[in-house]
Amino acid sequence: MAVGNELLIGKTCDTNSNWLAQQITKLGGRLRRVTQTPDELEEISEVVREALARRPDFLLTVGGLGPTYDDKTLQGVAQALNQPLRLNPEALRMVEEKVRQLAELGVLKRPWLTPEREKMATLPEGAIPLSNPVGTAPGVLIKAGGTTVICLPGVPSEMKAIFNLHVAKLMAERSDLKYAEGSLLVEGIPEPDLSPTIDKAVERFPEVYVKSHPKGEEAASKIELHLSAYARSLEEAEEKIREALQWLEGEALRLGGRVKRL
């Protein structure tokens, strides 16, 4: 879930969730839902509760870990988990270290541990802070039943750095699947007329997901067929994609289409 009013007023496009979706997929995971929610305590905690009820392996939150009054994600998570918020000594050490560095850089006049900075080290009880190589606010990991809840900051460079450093490995360990994909551009066959061929491909290659994406104006009849598959090994996943691509290519040519691998 992505937290932030800026998403719901359309000021910011949620590229964070898009980036995370790519990483999760590459790691063999399947992202089941993305929710964008405003900076409101009750909303955040409701979305967390609803997500936990679906019992995912991982629940990721992005945004709302900063020092300002409307950074409420950890409050929302704590409320959803019925855990109090506590100053976390390990997180405090991380924040202090950053404050010291900023003071050395001359950004701060002195290593000032204000209440706003302490807020970033105040975590739900039982949480583990994840060091942030780029900014001050640590990421947060909390176990909730079978779900690992991970809270990441909304600044893209910080979100990516914490994901790469701490989260990617956890996800790869949890998944025994690999993901592969491929695309075919078909021109000259309107989508409704290509649709029966897609149905046949889905029957013939049940482990390959085929999705058609119309490109540009409908009258141009330009369709991207995107194929994706999961398998135990990357080679196996790629082989599935290769076979299905080849078959679809032949069928599209037979229907009089022009075909290009993307």
8 Å CB contact between 111 and 103: yes
Is 13 or 143 the residue whose CB approaches a copy of itself more closely?
13
CB of 35 to a copy of itself, least distance (A): 5
Residue 261 CB, shortest distance to a copy of itself, in Å, is: 16
Tokens of 67: 């020092």
Q: Which is nearer to a copy of itself, 51 or 78 (CB)?
A: 51
Shorter beta-carbon distance to a copy of itself: residue 126 or 226: 226
Select 83 or 212, whichever has its Cβ closest to a copy of itself.
212
The minimum distance between CB 126 and a copy of itself, in angstroms, equals 25
Query: If residue 238 lies in a helix (H) or strand (E), which one and from where to where?
Result: helix 234-254
- Within 13 Å and on the Cβ side, how many CA atoms surround 248? 36
Pairing of strands 58-62, 147-152: parallel
Give me the residues paired with residue 209 across strands. Answer: 228
Give the residue with the Cβ less far from a copy of itself, 125 or 190.
190
| Smallest separation, CB 172 to a copy of itself (Å) | 16
Closest-CA residue to 78 (of 149, 147, 139)? 149
Long-range contacts of 173-177 (CB under 8 A, 24+ apart): 174/29, 174/57, 174/58, 175/27, 175/28, 175/29, 176/28, 176/232, 177/28, 177/230, 177/231, 177/232
From 33, 75, 39, select the one nearest 58 (Cα to Cα): 33
CB 29 → a copy of itself: shortest distance, Å? Answer: 10
Question: Please, what is the minimum distance in Å from the beta carbon of residue 12 to a copy of itself?
Answer: 8
In this complex, which beta carbon is closest to a copy of itself, that of residue 126 or of residue 214? Answer: 214
Report the amino acid identity of residue 103: A
Shortest reach from residue 212's CB to a copy of itself, in Å: 5
Non-local (6+) Cβ contacts of 191 within 8 A are 212, 214, 218, 221, 223
Question: Smaller CB distance to a copy of itself: residue 87 or 125?
Answer: 87
